Structure 1
Amino acid sequence: MEFLQTSITFSLLFLLTSLPLSLSSTCTSPKLTSSYKSCNELPSLSSSLHYSYDHSNKSLSVAFTATPPSASGWVAWGINPTGTGMAGTQAIVAFKNTNGSMSVKTFNLSSYSDIIEGKLSFPVYDKRAVFNAGDGSITIFASVGNSGTGKINHVWQVGPGVSKGFPEKHEFKPENLQSKGTLDLNGGTSSSGSKASESASDAATKKRNTHGILNAISWGLLFPLGAIIARYMRTFESADPAWFYVHVSCQISGYAIGVAGWSTGLQLGSESVGIVYSSHRYIGIALFALATLQIFALFLRPKKEHKLRFYWNIYHHGIGYAIIILGIINVFKGLNILEPEKKWKSTYVTILIVLGGITAVLEAFTWIVVLRRKSSRSTKPCA
């Protein structure tokens, strides 16, 4: 059983540490390059930005290209005069109408929940958009006045659709959260994402993966293993009380790792204002609360002959099975948020199937042993 626990733990570690980072696209638009002085391949969402800055009138001309998630989706590019994220951004949004024409609108993103269509804090001229039928991408053309000097913060994004002329909520995958950087208007060669912002994005991705690893091992693996050990090892009289200490060690380890993962999740939430995965978060809070009650149950455990032992067993087993079910559900929710390659999710499903198969075999074996013991006791002659 210890070998099984170790093998699956290392398998899950390999699974989650191999989560891929998003790849940036290449900046290839020969027709546009001749019209703009600079071209940057942006580090996320397979997008690029061509631009020219006129120092005489402080005018910035841009051509932003990105591919929306669907044919009815939208793309956006904007400048944030006050910060480095989405909140505070002055955005230009483009999408294809049902009749085939293109719409280009401007939005003020004063906060993640307060998005208002209207004029920006700086003038925007000659805005238009073109749908590129070859690859399904959209290019926004615009000139921005009084955009600033030196380095400015810019943000870009894509979304799945438009409802009544208003862009629908975009996804919160790592590549969506990393779609921000700085733009050098003084002739710098890169600056689509500074080294600092790229480093911060990498750190955030590693932190999310760490959160996933800790919680998957804890709630998704160690707690189910501990339950299997408790239910089936004690069937063998020779395993008493060894099974109890193995069970307790497994559950306490799972709890300690789970608390670390839960704390990492709280930190991620505090660093991502406006980004909330509600169901994943609430289940995580419930798991922490239930697991804490389960740990206290260890210290309140009555002796076998005590009259309260029956009720304690109901309490202990009920909370234990609830933790297992909620833990596995939340691992899948976490995988859906991280969105690794399908093979990693399939691997975790395979691990659960293997554990389920082992459980079924041990359950059948346990009932055989119990029934034989009852049969042998019933056939013994009375003294």
Structure 2
Amino acid sequence: MNPTRVLVLNSGSSSVKYQLLDMADGSRPASGLVERIGEGPVPDHTAALRQVADELRERGMGLDSPELAAVGHRVVHGGTKFTEPTLITDEVVASIEGLVPLAPLHNPANVTGIKVARELRPDLPQVAVFDTAFHSTMPESAARYAIDVETADRYDVRRYGFHGTSHAYVSRAAAGLLDRDLAGLNTIVLHLGNGASASAIEGGVCVDTSMGLTPLEGLVMGTRSGDLDPAIVFHLARVGGMSMDEVDTLLNKKSGLLGLCGDNDMREIGRRMGEGDRAAELAFEIYIHRLRKYVGAYTAVLGRVDAIVFTAGVGENSAAVREAALRGLTGLGIELDGVRNTLRSGSARIISAQSSRVAVAVIPTDEELEIATQTYALVRA
């Protein structure tokens, strides 16, 4: 038997998401989520992964299935070492652990998931797919911060970018939707969820992205501030007496839309705006202002933009965000079709006007499929 199924595992700090994909026919025989790890009946990641194995076994698709070709693991940070999907070995695990200082909230959980899965199926190929890998093609002019080079190199301070599997999938899907050759397509991808990022993609290759050393940089997000003057940190420490941990919590968990108006759900913000809530209106305006700045900046970076693509929860579902972000940009060749934009659909679709020089599309992201595709290609090579 030629095994064609890939189990994709996304092991987070308090949850494990899984999806089983069959690469032969595109089907998804199983998916699930184990939440609240560390609480109640799921004490740790080992228990969570064993629960995943039990759920699959109950469906007749256990980890011992001969149809299983590999396990693909989402790993948030690959640093400069991992720039492509990588077959997992003991040395690779050690290297990922060494990157924990760059992603202290994510990489430890990713490593735990890898270790447990390898214990459960030590004979099965397992592959790490890194969020940062797609952005590793950025030129040094985009990846370097303008700080002392020796200090930056000593502490691995540079822009890495995140949501890479989403940006990779969506940019490729855009070429298919538009029936264009990927190599000749310049695309701005706007991944707008609770975490949000933008990328400039030239011929399928990332040349710039909004997130940096960490996922804090860039767009206004659900609870993260995005871009700010770095001296704000010094000011809060010196004048406000805040510790580094307190500032970290403020900027990552108590800022963004939540910090501006008390809500980080765009649907609720929209409802409040409809009632004339000024705090919600201002939060929306700040969110949109930042988003428009990145569209303009990446238009300049690319020189020519063929497509702008919205994806992830807000990008796929909020017609108001899409309309506000691109309003008045006809000078850049961008025109939305009002009817197409407001049409509710779960499918990839074009929402720009016929007269628009730049195609605007909504493409639902599929990070699990991207991880499975990269994993399967590696183990079949």
Provide the TM-score with structure 2 as the length reference.
Answer: 0.21
Q: Which has the higher strand share?
A: 1
CA radius of gyration, larger in: 1
Q: Which has the higher contact order (CA 8 A, sep 6+)?
A: 2
Provide the TM-score with structure 1 as the length reference.
Answer: 0.21
Q: Which has the higher helix share?
A: 1
